[in-house]
Amino acid sequence: MLERRLSAAATPAADRPALLLIAHGSRDPRHAATVAALAEEVRVLRPGLELATAYLDHCAPRIPQVAGRLGARAVAVPLLLNRAFHAKHDVPAALRSAGAGLPVADVLGPSPLLLAALDRRLAEAGLDVSSPAVRARTGLVLAAAGSSDPAADAATRAVAAKWRRTRGWAAVEVAYASAAGPRVPEAVAALRAAGAARVAVAPYLLAPGRLPDRIAEAAAGADLLADVLGPAPEVAALLLERYDAAGARARTAPALTA
């Protein structure tokens, strides 16, 4: 499936714009290490593609430093799951302040590739995701960071609903590490009350840090805790999918406005 999404790799490297990966950043060194590992996965999938990483906060290098070096020939890809405040305001503002009029790709979610990455992490944690019988007895907590943006909340709930519908889980509850509830223990209790024989917590987060640690601590009442999405090959393929789509839009925009 991943190979099918990488056909643009046939484009000569010299003709491709660079990929500017924009991550949020964290004081936790595991965050930058995970972003670096994800960038390496992208390089493996698309050899020869120029890729640079910049951060909104906490980590270096920041967007102005990297965007200035790349110039106008790049596509910015936000390492964000939802179109919330960071995607709507912080990333565009940072690029404007850098004087970079780069095309900006869509955020990563929603996507079937993210569901596949969630399945991968559950399988790595010991859940037999390939068994319909196991899925039918298992309730999942999709544990996200949380946002005050109602549209972002609705998008996360839509991901949970699609994950349950397409995989046949007993139930999928959404929980948040910040902003409004419910919290992970409440979601676990709701799944138990609904009759789930087994409860697993799946962090809907890209890298380790304070919020994933909070989710892990709150998941003590669950039977299983998956890892963050991190450098899953599905996430790397999705970054390239967003990069290709944004680059195609940028190439056709002059023709559409001519």
pLDDT at 11: 52
Could you write out the DSSP letters of every residue in the chain?
A: -TGGGGGGGGS-GGGSPEEEEEE---SSHHHHHHHHHHHHHHHHHSTT--EEEEESSSSSSBHHHHHHHHTTSEEEEE--SS-SHIIIIIHHHHHHHTT----BPPPS-S-HHHHHHHHHHHHHTT--TT-HHHHHHEEEEEEE---S-HHHHHHHHHHHHHHHHHHT-SEEEEEESSSSS--HHHHHHHHHHTT-SEEEEEE--SS-SHHHHHHHHHGGGSSEEPPP-TT-HHHHHHHHHHHHHHHHHHHHHHHHH-
The domain made up of 112-225 has a fold known as Rossmann fold (3.40.50)
Could you tell me the two tokens for 197? 């024989």
Phi, psi of 149 (to 5 degrees): -85, 115
Which two tokens mark 120?
A: 């991968």
- pLDDT of 14 reads 57
| Fold classified for 3-108+232-257 | Rossmann fold (3.40.50)
* Fold match between domain 3-108+232-257 and domain 112-225: yes
Q: Which residues pair with 224 in a beta bridge?
A: 200
pLDDT per position in the chain (258 positions), as tens? Answer: 454 445 444 455 557 899 999 999 999 999 999 999 999 999 999 999 999 999 998 888 998 889 878 877 899 999 999 987 777 878 888 887 776 678 899 999 999 999 999 999 999 999 999 999 999 999 999 999 988 888 889 999 999 999 999 999 999 999 999 877 899 999 999 999 999 999 999 999 999 999 999 999 999 999 999 999 999 999 999 999 999 999 999 888 654 433
pLDDT number for residue 93: 82
Task: Characterise 75 by phi-psi region: left (phi > 0), alpha (psi -120 to 50), beta (else).
Answer: beta
Q: Where are the domains of the chain?
A: 3-108+232-257, 112-225
- The average confidence (pLDDT) of the chain is 90
How many C-alpha atoms does 115 have within 13 Å on its Cβ side?
17
> Which pair of structure tokens corresponds to residue 32?
């930058």
User: What per-residue confidence (pLDDT) applies to 211?
Assistant: 94
The pLDDT, as a whole number, for residue 4 is 42
**What is the per-residue pLDDT for 179?**
72
